Structure 1
């Protein structure tokens, strides 16, 4: 099995894993029916984020030879913070059955929240874990050049 494929399967598992303690903090009845939904949404958003954001980012990073662990950690942090907003919107829409207008108002208040940086940093750390896990498994190096042995036919 290809290392990038294994990394694609394993790295996003940090999101549903971390959604469990997050659910215990924010839900009124964590053992009720909403915690499994929250974990499922976290997994779905994490894998969608891998397909839509992470894999193209890895290709761009390889093209510019930015393939070290620090770059993966920073990219994971940024993507994790972006996916947190998506997770927040999905949970608002489906778990609490809010209308689109109330979601937009919630998003506006979320972005104007003075604690936004702290909250995004906490959720960005999940992306950091996923980014480092992806790097540790895939170890994506620069693309093979015309003079490398890998590029030779």
Structure 2
């Protein structure tokens, strides 16, 4: 198992592009690690120590291979290429989750920039009646005879409903 994992890791390290790899490699590493730890349970301490060291090396190698391949796949996906055909299931899940998170973050930023960057037309109105918070969300309550600089759509609605008059 170590040899196969190391060969895959070396091949991946030697290239800038994703390499084809056994899609079941992480499952097989997991099974091997389980067998390795269960096989050394009743053994003498030296055998346990060697098995534990081998397991640590395999975990580190598998994690580094996974990280390297996911980073390469993300780079390819961001360039518009589809890396999924080269990925193991675990890698594809990580790439999909990362791309989804990136997409959501971009959408949130776009919404914030749109709201902040939008030029809102305002109108000055004199209030004839009190306006409750429900009638003017995030602005109310507004008192009678006060002046308010309001977004044009809200100002026009209040004028139409008899709550305010426009000031030129």
**Higher radius of gyration, 1 or 2:** 2
Q: Which has the higher helix share?
A: 1
- Is the shorter-chain TM-score for this pair beyond 0.5, marking a shared fold? no
Greater per-residue strand proportion: 2
Greater relative contact order structure (CA < 8 Å, 6+ sep):
1
